[in-house]
Structure 1
Amino acid sequence: MKRPDPAVPVDPAPRGRPSGRPDPFAAARAAYWERAPRPSPGHRAAAPNLFAELVRAEYRPDDAPAGRPAAATSGDLVLAGLRRRVRAGRTPPPETCVRLLADGDHARAAVFDAWPEAVRCHGTERAAAAVRRGLHGTRPPHVVAPLLDLAAAESLVPLARPELLRLAYAPERTVRHAAWRLLAAYDGSLLLPHAGATPGTRSADAYERLLREALRAPGPPAAPKSAELRPGTLVAQSMLLGHLDRPGEGLSGGLGVLLGALGDALARTDGVAGVLTLVTACAPELEADPVLLRRRGRRHWVLRLPVDSPRPVGPEELGRHREALAWWATRLLGSLGRPVDVLHIRYADDGSLALAEAARRTGAALVFTAAPDPHRQMTERHAGPGTDANALRHDLHRVFVADRLVERADRVVGIAGPGGEADELLHHFPQLAGRAGGAPDAPPEGIAPYRPPEDAGRRIDSLLATVGARLGATAAPGRPRTPTVLLTVGRLHPVKQQDVLVRAWAESGAFRESVLVCVGGSPSDADPAERAMRTRVERAVAACPEAAERLLLLPALANADVRTLERRLADPANGFRARYVCPSAKEEFGLAVLEAMEAGLLVAAPERGGVPHYLVDGRNGLLIDTSCARTLGEGLLRLLRADDGAAAAMARNAQGLVRSTYSSNAMARALARHYTAVAPRIRTDRQAAAPSREGPVRRPVAPEGRSRTGGEGTSLPEPDGPSAVRAPARAARPRTASWRG
């Protein structure tokens, strides 16, 4: 991995890196893992400080006095105590787990994380009795369903069959679906209610049809020879938010582009048998396309996990689907004809915890890419007056989830920060310092080689004509004859800050020297977050008609079209003076930035996050402060007024660096080494644990009658063929040969 030139002056502490400023959140975490002296409590704040109280409650030693809270609620303190206990490995008993299920989504997440170990430590009989007592009480549906899920997670039998069958007919979808999943532990899938038998329903929808098929299918799918895998490690990677092949729309961003290219590259890498990319599919998407497993490329498949939601699931909703996601992932990964060896997850959210649980149940090794987000901003965002209490609670939940994923993972890798190492990761995850192997590796991320898309010329010519018309319409005396085209590409989302960019561009006067082209967002206004961002963008230029006429908002384009557009803009022969700006509040890595650099554009990007790892200010681009409209405006003027000769030199340096170092092929080779290092040990553990239901925490849970030994050179189902993983048509009876868990 290349390092920045030491002769080039660099800000010694860019935003996002550990600095000399005190960070009580990082200090509390370091002290918890005994990596630093415990900070002095100091004087009690005159006003209630929720941040300080919750951090103290969650990270204090057990023998330290709890203190008297002024801002925290009793529920906050109970949840903090539960997290503290789980982090320390002191598993709460089943009765406590059952009682805390009613305390909200965040408490439920901690309970589900602790539950497998609680059952192992206290036994299945005690756990089943605790669930039974909970179910026999008067409970609302939002508590009954998680209780059933607790039982299903460990194949417990807390109710007599008639009692469970009554719940299988419940009008509440979450309750009856949880009851159906639990019926599998009773070997009672044949007793499922017929479609339309549930009160208040006429016929099953796509999700329910698929769930019935999953429970009733008798065996694994056929494995046509045309879909054979190579000998080696079978890898699964996850992207649970957004669409893999629609970057820039809704929640779909650079991760989809990354995983698509990475999966293709991994499938070509020595030692990798094949790749599965796991995504989610909501109910309307299942109705439109019932195929769950489809080939993307040679030895690369996309596996869709059904989600019972009327719309694509968002990050704040994943917790409500966590156990169902774990069940589906376990079921589908167990139906492939051979075990998945390694599951690689990214992002600290409830969906990743669900997949971590599926890895435990199927015996797959778990690799986690950790990032110090939201850790690096906790103090800055929440320690001052006027903090949003709910946002603070959510961020503390994300930190807890990240800690649990680090604990569960067989290998942790990081995203390289400034300087190319994972030093910032150790600063915010002090528990990593005590793991075998020392500091985690930070494999370089990368982009796929550029390949011109078919028929791109006509589409891009049309776009360039639109840009050219906007340039011509804004020409006037006193303005540059050929203003600069400022391009930005990204999904419409608050973290991407398109509204801040437009406001900075207008207020700084940069609009007088440029036309701003923003690419991103769905063509429709169906997504509320995108609608809100468009409204803020419109408000940002409402008071400045001159800026409004120089702003061009385009919907998201296919990645290949974006890269073609960038190349055409960067080519001086096309008559454009073009530059690229990334206005995000922070970027953990910034694939769109890499793509613009590779195309030959001069790039300005955030100094916060992972971009300074590869972008050295003044050498191969510009680092700018995107924390507010004022500083972003200053960065825009600096970008626009950079000398053309210097800009061309920086763009050449950037292009050479990306093409030589940051490719998806190099990333695939680096990750494959991690996968092949952990897979053999996990295979051995899997074989040793298979005979015992009460074995170690990482034990496979194979469906009855299924062999989990697998073998190299075995097969996946032929996509789109008669054995494709597919939900049955609406009017058809559930088929029994399509797939099986």
Structure 2
Amino acid sequence: MGPEHWLLRIPVPGAAADPGSGPEARAALAWWTTRLLALEGARPGVVHARFADDASLAVADAARRSGARFAFTVTPDPHRTMGERHRGVGKAPCTEPAAALRADLHRVFAADLLAERCDLLVTIPGPEGGRELMTHYPHLVRARGARPVVSPPEGIPPFVPADGDGDLGEQFLRRLFGGAGGEGGLGPEARGRRLFLTVGRLHPVKQQDRLVEAWIEAGLHHRTALLLVGGSARSGTAVEREMRERIAKLLSADPAARRTLACWPALPNRQVRVLERTLAGARGEGTCVYVCPSAKEEFGLAVLEAMDAGLPVAGPQRGGVPHYVEDGVNGFLLPTHSTSALAGRLAELAVTPPQALARVAAAGAATVRERYSVAGMASELAHAYERLDVESPRR
């Protein structure tokens, strides 16, 4: 971090990494966060949380105890996911319907409570201008006059090259093309093929299993390759294990698919960005296309990072990605609601000429440079924070 920024890590119980253990960990998280916020030089004027869960509720508790204002980034996600799942739209995230219902209800409760407690509401820009958000949070419509609501542009930090990036990129290429499928890398027959890359936590909403199923259904395992990056290097959470089991079951029926798909554990963000730049500039390898198969993305910062790296990207039609991706111009939009629809779109991308992909990738990189810098987002947020102390009563 810079000289004016601190990175403070909150000690948590070992099981707190699993969202299912959040309620039990909340008191400990709140206690530790309060202690950290009381450190000399670390007392904040505003505390900002971005995810609707028990950890954010703990942070909100600590902010109130510390006398800080609380800002919350509100999204339609928990309410929309619950409505769709229990109406039978899409796929349930686990095989236990009662557990899924409990988890969804708790996230809705957490989101509603955080929205009620905050002094500043932050919304993510999207193509629908917040209309969907207000259908899920009707009480916010009534409360909008009582607290500020801002929608700063999302943004990513610039990539700063460093010594050793070239060597790291070469290591990634050797790892990717030096195995026989799985975590060791792709089989030799995958070299030179078009490569689909996706990066994200292993979770049902990210739909890596649907991507694999669509890739196989379209027969693309015989002429393209697929790299999945995400999840714990070890056994991971129950959700991660279930996703791995689904993917393994899909691959078990076809040795060709096993040899042309690699699953890597999560990488640090900077290494991901080096990997993406390496694949974007690799000579003698097939063109790489970044795909985001999520059911939806509220905005999709990982998609922006891939665009910034110079990769052609394809993201979900639902959510925030269509806010900055124009299909066929600076990226592509994917119908991720259906395996067969996704398979058809992947088949099209598999035969899109390299020159067309290069044009789209260049336009995508320009979009990020011109409109989505983290400096612009930080400036607007800082202005909103400053106005809180001057213009808004404390809640």
CA pair 670-467 structure 1, distance change in 2 beyond 3 A: same
Distance 1:312 1:319 in 2: 9
CA distance in 1, matches of 2:121, 2:83: 25
Kept in 2, the 8 Å contact 1:569–1:576? The answer is: no
1:426 aligned partner: 134
Per-residue CA deviation, residues 425-455 of structure 1 (Å, 9 max, x unaligned), is 2222222222217993221111111112432
Match of 1:342 in 2: 46
**Aligned-partner SS, 1:605:** strand
1:561 corresponds to: 271
Q: Which residue of 2 aligns with 1:365?
A: 69
The answer for unaligned runs of 5 or more in structure 1 is 1-295, 476-480, 686-697, 699-741
User: Match for 2:3 among 298, 305, 313?
Assistant: 298
Question: 2:101 aligned with 1:392, yes or no?
Answer: yes
Amino acid at match of 1:377: T
SS of structure 1 residue aligned to 2:172 = helix
Query: Which amino acid counterpart does residue 432 of structure 1 have in structure 2?
Result: L
Q: Does 1:598 align with 2:296?
A: no
Residues 1:393 and 1:532: Cα distance change in structure 2 (over 3 Å): closer
Distance 1:424 1:443 in 2: 17
Kindly provide the CA deviation profile for residues 244-263 of structure 1, in whole angstroms up to 9, marking residues without a partner as x: xxxxxxxxxxxxxxxxxxxx
User: What is residue 322 of structure 1 aligned with on the other side?
Assistant: 26
Distance 1:375 1:647 in 2: 36
Q: Which has the larger radius of gyration?
A: 1
- Counterparts of 1:117-156 in structure 2, within 5 Å, are none
Match of 1:652 in 2: 362
Give the partner amino acid of 1:413: V
Matches within 5 A, 1:34-53: none
Q: Secondary structure at the residue paired with 2:10?
A: strand
Q: Distance in 2 between matches of 1:425 and 1:499?
A: 28
* 3-state secondary structure, aligned to 1:301: coil
* Per-residue CA distance 1:613-635 (angstroms, 9 max, x = gap): 11121221111122232222122
Residues 545 and 607 of structure 1: CA distance in aligned 2, closer, same or farther (over 3 Å): same
In structure 2, what is the Cα distance between the partners aligned to 1:379 and 1:430?
Answer: 15
Match of 1:636 in 2: 346
Structure 1 counterpart of 2:8, one-letter code: L
Q: Any conservation in 2 of the 1:519–1:554 contact (CA below 8 Å)?
A: yes
Tell me: CA distance 1:525–1:398, structure 2 relative to 1, closer, same or farther (3 Å).
closer
2:3 corresponds to which letter in structure 1? Answer: R
> C-alpha displacement at 1:597, in angstroms?
0.8
SS at match of 1:305: coil
Q: Secondary structure at the match of 2:150?
A: coil
Map 1:7-156 to 2 at 5 A: none
Residue 455 of structure 1 corresponds to which residue in structure 2? 164
Q: Paired residue for 1:410, among 119, 129, 151?
A: 119
- The Cα shift of 1:528 comes to 4.1
Query: Cα distance, 1:521 vs. partner?
Result: 2.7
**How far 1:601 moved relative to its partner?**
1.1
* Residue 521 of structure 1 pairs with residue 231 of structure 2: yes
Partners in 2 of 1:659 and 1:348 — Cα distance?
30
Q: Render the CA deviation track for 1:583-631: whole Å, top value 9, x for unaligned.
A: 1222111111111111111111111221111112122111112223222
Alpha-carbon displacement from aligned partner over 1:160-210 (angstroms, at most 9, x marks no partner):
xxxxxxxxxxxxxxxxxxxxxxxxxxxxxxxxxxxxxxxxxxxxxxxxxxx
Identity among equivalent positions (%) equals: 48
**SS of 1:398 mapped into structure 2:** helix
Higher normalized helix content (fraction of residues) = 2
- Contact 1:417–1:423 (Cα < 8 Å) also in 2: no
**TM-score calculated relative to the size of structure 2:** 0.88
Give 1:555 shift. 2.6
Give the match's secondary structure for 2:7.
strand
Distance 1:467 1:534 in 2: 19
Q: Distance in 2 between matches of 1:311 and 1:398?
A: 18
Task: Report if aligned partners of 1:372, 1:425 keep a CA contact under 8 Å in 2.
Answer: yes
* SS of 1:316 mapped into structure 2: helix
For 2:50 and 2:374, the matched residues in 1 are separated by: 17
The whole-number CA distance in structure 2 between the counterparts of 1:555 and 1:350 is: 26
Aligned residue identity for 2:46: V
Q: Pick closer, same or farther for the CA change 1:326–1:572 going to 2, 3 Å.
A: closer
For residue 550 of structure 1, what is the aligned residue in structure 2? 260
SS of 1:609's equivalent? coil
Displacement after TM superposition at 1:365 (Å) = 0.9
Which is worse superposed, 488-497 or 377-386? 377-386
The alignment partner of 2:9 has SS state of: strand
Deviations 1:507-530 (A, max 9, x none): 210112211112223333354443
Please tell me whether the aligned partners of residues 582 and 593 of structure 1 are also in contact (alpha carbons under 8 angstroms): yes
| Residue among 138, 151, 154 paired with 1:445 | 154
1:573 is displaced (CA, Å) by 4.1
Give the aligned partner of residue 183 of structure 2: none
Change (3 A) 1:376 1:527: closer
Q: Deviations over 1:130-179 (max 9, x none)?
A: xxxxxxxxxxxxxxxxxxxxxxxxxxxxxxxxxxxxxxxxxxxxxxxxxx
Which string of whole-angstrom CA distances, capped at 9 and with x for unpartnered residues, describes residues 480-518 of structure 1?
x93201111122222222222112111210112211112
Letter aligned with residue 375 of structure 1: H
Larger mean CA deviation between 352-361 and 432-441 belongs to 432-441
For residues 674-713 of structure 1, the aligned pairs below 5 Å read 674-680=384-390
1:576 pairs with 2:280: no
1:474 aligns with 2:189: yes
Q: Mark the CA change 1:527 to 1:398 in structure 2 (over 3 Å): closer, same or farther.
A: closer
Indicate the RMSD between aligned Cα atoms, in angstroms.
Answer: 2.6
The gaps in structure 2 that reach 5 residues or longer are: 180-185
Aligned pair count reads 383
Q: Do the aligned residues in 2 keep the contact of 1:342 with 1:675 (CA within 8 Å)?
A: yes
